[in-house]
Structure 1
Amino acid sequence: MDSQNLTPSHPQKLYSAEAVRQLDRLVISQQQVPSIALMKRAGRAAFDYLCSRWPEISGIQVFCGGGNNGGDGYVIAGLAAQRQIPVTVFVGVPADKLKGEALEAYGFAEREGAKFVSGLAELPPVDKHTVLVDALLGTGFSGELRAPVDAAIAHLNRSSAPVLAVDLPSGLNADSGFAIDAVRADATVTFIGRKAGLFLGRGPALAGEVVFEDLGAAPEIYAQVPALLVRHSGDSLERLPARAADSYKNQFGHVMIVGGDHGFGGAALMAAESAARCGAGLISLATRPEHVVASLTRRPEVMAHPVVSGQELEPLLEAPNVIAVGPGLGQSPWSEQLLARAGRAHGALVLDADALNILAGGRVLAGIKRDDWVLTPHVGEAARLLGVASAEVAADPVAAAKAIQEKFSGVVVLKGAGTVIAHVEGVDVINTGNPGMASGGMGDLLTGVIAALIGQGMTLPAAARLGVWLHGEAGNRAAAEGQRGLLATDLLLHIRALVD
């Protein structure tokens, strides 16, 4: 039984590699489960999943390293041999170098008749019903890959056969999801605690379907070890309440979008329209004068105001209770004036795109920390906010999001395949969306959605979580007819359907 996720409405706790090792030790010491018994349970769980996922299996090739991850692989090989499934084991570490439970598991596979090879050229050819098992590296991996593991990973990735990763794909950082060269798995069976790296960075692209097995760990074990972050799905998120029969527009917030410099009017309008489709009662748009006619033509419900300076924006900031700055804002003197005025207005703020780049420059809103704003950077913008290289943010998105939150306060939404949301109460991750959403305007929609949810009374962390999920799920629905050519505006009606 999955004791960390008793019902679909419960968020999932994600752990660091060290925290999972603590969970292991507690299961061994408090539940008095020998470590070899845990290894056998892990191998059995992975083997059972393999057989259910690929029932027409004709052969298995298991790639084993020298640690406990390799030991899990040897258990799988032994169980396959027991079942009379042809199994070949690539031995990444010679048997005389194995120790403890890994050596014991090797002996089990040997006794059951598994075939062992030490060279990749010795592996038999695969067919469409062969399954490859990655048990090369475990949660302790860091640094650079070394022979023969690097060659084995390249071999796995070249193969046409499906790949099952044991605990996590080899080469993937268990904490951050960082990877340079790593196994691309079709599925991953992970044990005891969900590793955060499976849901961050490169993790979602490399892990495939993630299946969790608690191996009999008791619920009280998890209460003793803090999680690194919390993963939410649609069922575990706070939602907007139903509207009363006598509702009126002023109850549902007035959102103002500030942006749309020369040539970028569409970004600001898309943010305004997404806020409208997400249920905001009133929508204002402050933009360059030349964009007003197009805005009214496209969406007459939006109150479009021409502004040529920060001074003209000033009186418009009194009415909204949420101001979103950044879509199409640019980085001109006009842009800086508008951000400077909006950044000191009353009410909640959502900053995106060039508002973040201007903020990072230090000339506007320098040194300001606000509890009532949401910053929504992608990796490059996050790097500029922190003054580091983008690679550093990609290597540890949780640390980056927390660092931005500590620097600027409020809520930080670091966008990615696993979007990290950092706030004063902790760190969350939302996994949704698809590669088709890698197109212009998607971030502008998210800005409008989050602003609309805040305007309707949600707390900033709750609005960020729900906004990211709505945005990604709308993208999934819109991509049902194909991912390539997906446009941001294709999501709008899906957002409307999902938010209610």
Structure 2
Amino acid sequence: MDTPQPLYSAESVRELDRRVIAALDIPSIALMKRAGRRAFAQLMLRWPDLRRLQVYCGGGNNGGDGYVVAALAAQKQIPVAAYACVPPEKLSGDARTAYEYAVREGVHVVQSLTELDAEDGDTVIVDALLGTGFSGELREPVGHAVERINRSVAPVLAVDVPSGLNADTGHGDRAVQADVTVTFIGRKLGLFCGRGPALCGEVIFEDLGAPAEVYRSLDPLAWRYTGESVPRLAPRRADAYKNQFGHVLVVGGDTGFGGAALMAAESTARAGAGLVSLATRPEHLAAALTRCPEVMAHPVISGQELEPLLEIPDVIAVGPGLGRAPWGEQLLARAGRAEVPLVVDADALNILAGGRVLAGVRRDDWVLTPHVGEAARLLGWDTAEVLADPLAAVREVQAKFSGVVVLKGAGTLIAHDGGVDLINGGNPGMASGGMGDLLTGIIAALIGQRMPLVDAVRLAVWLHGAAGDHAAAEGQRGLLATDLLPFVRRLVD
């Protein structure tokens, strides 16, 4: 099993740059040229028949990387124009040296966007406007340059970070849309969360020959888990029996929302739980038995009727289709007092945010799985605040409620007492009803199979996204949550 990948802040990566220069005993311009060569190599690997190149260069080291790329293209006799967003006479340090290198190699440098030729199918654009130091709002003329890049039909390679994307938070309302991003020295968190996955395209990491020792004693912001690094379930023994794999109780399904609870229960079964019970409204029993007779469905009309069922399970998943009416509040209040691990999702989170039920409760053995809107309600924030800094949001929810918190998204963040993990996966086709209910069931099933809480969440989030990607092979639009279930079963082993 591979180790997870560390994800750093922009400040930490600047420190890594300094350490690499010192460890290799090279001038900083040598490291810049090394970055430019790696970016150019990836450019030629991706577009080997490149006919024309446009490089958008800023005034800092990112712009310097761009000038190096332009110079290398000119050496290969590839027609190249470099747009100098900052007048060359204002450049200094390595950026100035890289600009002079490009000029010596015959790069055509222009200082106005109108001097660039119109892009066509033979053109590739390199974005080297802004680096990891960007935050806040784009200023002109950078903003106009970003807009021109995004209007172009040409493919785009971003150097280190797509310009306009915050490398720490993944925030980027006005940023370059890249097809490929080549990032250096350390992977930046913002490339993998927030808007990062939508803006970066394929992310290629180049360590530029950094020695392993430069990374020591530098704590990352988060750890990124992939399919090769997530923990897995142990194989089942030949003499295994169902009680070894957990009894999960799913609580939810108020009037009109029975499908959510049933999907959660079915995904629990498909992810390998030994036994699955469902506590739901009486009118949903027939549908439950028809859809999935393996689930033991129980009618409950009050929290009092739920009480006897709470003595049975090893894990409780509460929230799918729970509603926010008194029925749901009663069930959450009773389930929240059970002395088994809880997975809390959907309307259970909204009730929790209201402060009337389980007020002030903190538990080490529960998993909260909010999407952005639910996280905002739990914190009393605006949704825009969560989107602007998802890392801060997930940390704050975990600090408030303890346990494990899963902030769902294209880059799902998992906060726990040991830090923060990130898992990318899934696709836009999964932006449909019921997907979160499946994740709730998968997490509960893995906890029931005796996985430690954090490991169960890591595997479940990856499994959910991977199943979605497999299901989307037949198309993203029209993808239903239940389409994932056959793949959940295949991938869980």
The correspondence of residues 307-346 of structure 1 with structure 2, limited to 5 A, is 307-346=300-339
Q: Aligned equivalents of 1:33 and 1:373: distance in 2?
A: 50
Q: Which residue of 1 aligns with 2:367?
A: 374
Structure 2 counterpart of 1:362, from 355, 364, 380: 355
**CA offsets, 1:62-108, max 9 Å, x none?**
00000000000000011111111000001100011101000000000
Amino acid at match of 1:62: V
Q: Which residue of 2 aligns with 1:36?
A: 29
Report the RMSD for the aligned CA atoms in angstroms.
0.7
Would the aligned equivalents of 2:271 and 2:442 in 1 still touch at CA under 8 Å?
A: yes
Structure 2 counterpart of 1:158, from 151, 155, 159: 151
The correspondence of residues 54-453 of structure 1 with structure 2, limited to 5 A, is 54-453=47-446
**CA offsets, 1:148-180, max 9 Å, x none?**
100000000000000000001000000010011
Amino acid at match of 2:260: A
**CA offsets, 1:340-394, max 9 Å, x none?**
0000001100000000000011000001000000000000000010111111111
Q: Aligned equivalents of 2:81 and 2:346: distance in 1?
A: 52
Shift of 1:9: 1.3
Q: Aligned equivalents of 1:144 and 1:28: distance in 2?
A: 31
Shift of 1:31: 2.7
Structure 1 counterpart of 2:467, from 466, 470, 474: 474
**CA offsets, 1:385-439, max 9 Å, x none?**
0111111111111111111111000000000000000000110000000000000
The correspondence of residues 40-55 of structure 1 with structure 2, limited to 5 A, is 40-55=33-48
Aligned residue pairs: how many? 493
Would the aligned equivalents of 2:365 and 2:403 in 1 still touch at CA under 8 Å?
A: yes
Amino acid at match of 2:45: S
Amino acid at match of 1:79: L
Shift of 1:33: 2.2
Q: Aligned equivalents of 1:269 and 1:215: distance in 2?
A: 50
Shift of 1:126: 2.2
Would the aligned equivalents of 2:23 and 2:211 in 1 still touch at CA under 8 Å?
A: no
1:455 and 2:448 aligned:
yes
Shift of 1:315: 0.5
Q: Which runs of 4+ in 1 moved over 6 A?
A: none
Q: Aligned equivalents of 1:28 and 1:464: distance in 2?
A: 39
Q: Aligned equivalents of 1:428 and 1:340: distance in 2?
A: 30
Q: Which residue of 1 aligns with 2:481?
A: 488
Would the aligned equivalents of 2:21 and 2:27 in 1 still touch at CA under 8 Å?
A: yes
Amino acid at match of 1:276: A
Shift of 1:119: 1.2
Amino acid at match of 2:343: V
Amino acid at match of 1:284: S
The normalised TM-score by structure 2 is: 0.99
Shift of 1:331: 0.2
Q: Secondary structure at the match of 2:35?
A: helix
Is the deviation greater in 119-128 or in 302-311? 119-128
**CA offsets, 1:209-233, max 9 Å, x none?**
0000111110111113111100001
**CA offsets, 1:105-138, max 9 Å, x none?**
0000000000011111111122322110000001
Would the aligned equivalents of 1:132 and 1:156 in 2 still touch at CA under 8 Å?
A: yes
Q: Aligned equivalents of 2:173 and 2:120: distance in 1?
A: 28
Q: Aligned equivalents of 2:339 and 2:290: distance in 1?
A: 30
Which blocks of at least 5 consecutive residues in structure 2 are unaligned?
A: none
Q: Secondary structure at the match of 2:228?
A: helix
Q: Which residue of 1 aligns with 2:458?
A: 465
Shift of 1:147: 1.1
**CA offsets, 1:228-283, max 9 Å, x none?**
10000111011111111111100000000000000000000000000000000000
Would the aligned equivalents of 1:321 and 1:346 in 2 still touch at CA under 8 Å?
A: no
**CA offsets, 1:39-76, max 9 Å, x none?**
00000000011011000100100000000000000000
Q: Aligned equivalents of 2:247 and 2:122: distance in 1?
A: 58
